[in-house]
Amino acid sequence: CSRFSRKIDLKALRELCFSGIPCEGGIRALCWKILLNYLPLDQALWETFLTKQRDLYAQFLREMIIQPGIAKANLGVSREDVTLEDHPLNPNPDSRWNTYFKDNEVLLQIDKDVRRLYPDMAFFQRPTDFPSQLILDPENEYETLRRRVEQTTLKAQTVNRNRSGVTNVSSPGKALNLYPSNEYEVLPNGCEAHWEVVERILFIYAKLNPGIAYVQGMNEIVGPIYYTFATDPSSQWKEHAEADTFFCFTSLMSENRDNFIKSLDDSQCGITFKMESVFSKLKEKDTELYLKLQEQNIKPQYFTFRWLTLLLSQEFLLPDVIRIWDSLFSDQERFEFLIPVCCTHTHRPPNMQSAVLQDYPISDVHAILIKAKELQDGL
C-alpha cells in the first residue's frame, strides 16, 4: 500500500502494469484487485470496503451452501414435520428441493472441472493454509459440497454444458466414481484443497447468476486469479483469497460473460463477431498467412474460439498466462486488446494445420505482447 499515494491514479497504474507487474511483495495481487474494479481508487476506503465485501461473501456461503445443507441433513431427523412443500418428491418446479437437485447437476460439472485444474501443478491439490472456518465449523451439521458430490448420481439425460467444442454425455445412472482412488485424494476433515475453494467460488457464482450459471471453461478463468491471490506473501491478504477472488472473477465475467452466452454468439458482443475480428485483423496485417489459412479451409473458430473465451488461459503455462493478463487487465479496452494478441499468436509457419494451431510449442510471451501492442496502435 505504501507504494501508492492515498488516491490511486488509474491511468498511470495501467501504464505501469501493462509492461508486467512484479510478482514480489504481493504487488501483482494488489494491482489486479484495482484493475479489475474491485478495490476503490481511494485507499482510505479499503478497510471498510473489504470488511463489507468479505462479510457479504460469508452471507452467500450461509444462504447458498450451509442453510440448504442443514435442511437436507435435517430431513431424516424429524420426518413427522415434513410437509409436501418441504418434501424432496414435491413435483413443483419451484420447490426448494427441485432447485437443490438442479444445483447438484451444476455442482457435479464444476467438481469434474476444478479437480483437473492445472494438473501439471501440485498447488491446487495442496491444502490451503486458510480453510473456511465458516464451512468447516463443527457446530454446523450440514451436507457439505464435498458430501453432495459424493452422493450425487448422474441422470441419463445430463449433458455437460460445454463451450469448448466437446460434448460429454454421462453414462445413465452411473454413480459418481469418476476418479481413481489414488488420484485427486480428498483431504481429511478440517482441511480443504485449493481446488475445493475454487469449486465453492464457482458454485456461488452459478447460484447468483442463474442466467448463465456455470459453463465449462469458467474454471480456467477463475484459476489464475485465485492462484495469484492465494500465493500472496501477506497472510492478511491471503486469508481472504476466496472472497476477493469471487468478486474479482464476478467483475471480470461481467465483461466477458457474453462469450459464454450462446444466444449472443452472432451479435456484436458475441463470440462469433470477435472471432471474425481476429481474422479481419490478420487479413489486414498478414495477407499471405490469411490466404494460406483460407486455402486450407482453416476457420477462425478452429482455434480462436478457445483463445478468446478463455483469455488464452489454456495456451500457455500459468506464469505466462498471468503475465499476459497483466497487460490484458491494464488495457482500458481489455477485450479489444485480446484481438491483436490472438492475431499475433496466430503467426505460425503457413503449412501448419488447424489442430496444430491449438497446441504448438510455447512462444515468447513478451514478444507476442509487444507485437500485439504495435498492431493495436496501428504501427
Average the pLDDT over 41-68 and give the result: 95
The pLDDT-based confidence of 170 (bands split at 50, 70, 90) is very low
Identify the band that residue 286 occupies on the pLDDT scale cut at 50, 70 and 90: low
Q: Give the model confidence (pLDDT) of 12-50 as tens digits.
A: 999 999 999 998 899 999 999 999 999 999 999 999 999
% the chain with pLDDT above 90: 40
- As a whole number, mean pLDDT of residues 289-316 equals 73
- Range from 1-5, 212-216, 226-230 that averages highest in pLDDT: 226-230
Domains of the chain: 10-259 (no CATH), 261-377 (1.10.472.80)
> Alpha helices, DSSP H only, in the chain?
10-18, 27-35, 46-61, 67-74, 96-115, 133-136, 145-151, 194-208, 218-230, 235-238, 241-256, 271-285, 287-295, 304-309, 318-330, 334-345, 354-357, 365-376
Q: In this structure, what DSSP letter does residue 66 have?
A: I
Q: What does the pLDDT average to over 213-225?
A: 94
The band of 180, judged by pLDDT with boundaries at 50, 70 and 90, is very low
Please give the share of the chain, as a percent, with pLDDT higher than 70: 66
The mean-pLDDT minimum among 93-102, 307-316, 329-338, 341-350 falls in 341-350
What's the rounded mean pLDDT across residues 261-273?
54
Q: Would you state the pLDDT for residue 176?
A: 40
Place of cell 464451512: 135
Cell numbers for 72, please give them: 437436507
For residues 248 and 225, give the distance between their C-alpha atoms in angstroms, rounded to a whole number. 8
pTM here is 0.79
Kindly state the average pLDDT of the residues 155-159: 38
- Rounded to 10 deg, the angle between the 271-285 and 334-345 helix axes is 50
* Average pLDDT value for the chain: 77
pLDDT band at 366; cut points 50, 70, 90: confident
In this prediction, residue 300 carries a pLDDT of 60
Alpha-carbon distance values, 336 to 67, 99, 257 (Å)? 42, 38, 15
Report the distance separating Cα 368 and Cα 362, nearest Å.
11
What count of other Cβ atoms lies within 10 Å of the Cβ of residue 190?
9
In DSSP terms, 169 is beta-bridged to 159
Over residues 76-123, the pLDDT tens digits come to 544 444 444 455 555 555 566 778 888 999 999 999 999 989 988 899
How far, in Å, CA of 122 to CA of 193, rounded?
10
Q: Dihedral of the CA atoms 15, 19, 25, 28 (nearest 10)?
A: 70
pLDDT-wise least confident of 27-41, 117-131, 246-260: 246-260
For residue 232, pLDDT over 70 is answered with yes
